Amino acid sequence: MPRGLRAALGWALLLRLLALLQLPALSEACSCAPAHPQQHICYSALVIRAKVNSEKVVPASADPADTQKMIRYEIKQIKMFKGFEKVKDVQYIYTPLDSSLCGVKLEASNQKQYLLTGQVLNDGKVFVHLCNYIEPWENLSLLQKESLNHHYHLNCGCQITTCYTVPCTISAPNECLWTDWLLQQKLYGYQAQHYVCVKHVDGTCSWYRGHLPLRKEFMDIIQP
């Protein structure tokens, strides 16, 4: 098996092991640490807008003894936001066939488009899984779409911490508290859709949405 693909499958197997260790009742499920869309963009090697033309189940390697299977999606790349130095035009993306290894199920449609984040393997293959940020393009807010070109990339020096229960505290000046789960019981809520964690000239970070002030509930949590 090629080294890059072996590493990617190793990552998926690690996620599977974590799920087994941490969530006995959900041992067949994929387990991922939560991450704000801005973090996904900053940490991913590749970020593209694309639509899926077709899918095919393929062997994970040329080794006959290797029983691992992958789904190979043939895609049409519409725009690349990140990854220019690794790959110019993405024609295929790969994901584990097994959903317990965080395999992604995408819809092949002439109309539906996706924002895809993922890794580029050593052999040039693009690998995606459920722990990446993968969203239908139509579900993204206007700010999210605009931030793909500028705001997210320019503010990767900020740290975003998920707030699950009150009180939430900031441990570093370059940290923003992500409160969607606390306030809306979902990760990609209002704050993820409409705010960017922005770094200021003094090194501090705070949530920003153009000229609009922060919503009061964010301010109440961030300022004890």
> Is there a contact between 161 and 176 (Cβ–Cβ < 8 Å)?
yes
The burial of 96, by beta-carbon neighbours within 10 Å (0-12 exposed, 13-18 middle, 19 or more buried), is given as: buried
- Is residue 30 part of an annotated ligand binding site? yes
Q: Which of 68, 51, 75, 199 is nearest to 125 (CA)?
A: 75
Structure token digits, residue 184: 């809306």
Could you tell me which residues are beta bridge partners of residue 108?
Answer: 52
Could you tell me which residues are beta bridge partners of residue 51?
Answer: 76
Rounded to the nearest angstrom, the gap between the alpha carbon of residue 64 and the centroid of all alpha carbons in its chain is 32
Q: Which amino acid is at 206?
A: S
With vertex at residue 126, the alpha carbon angle to CA 23 and CA 35, rounded to the nearest 5 degrees, is: 40
Q: Which amino acid is at 169?
A: T
Phi, psi values for residue 109, rounded to 5°: -155, 145
Distance spanning both ends of the chain, measured CA to CA:
53
CA separation for the pair 176, 197 (Å, rounded): 6
R_g (Cα) of the chain, nearest Å:
19
* Binding-site residues: 30
Residue set of the binding site for Zn(2+): 30
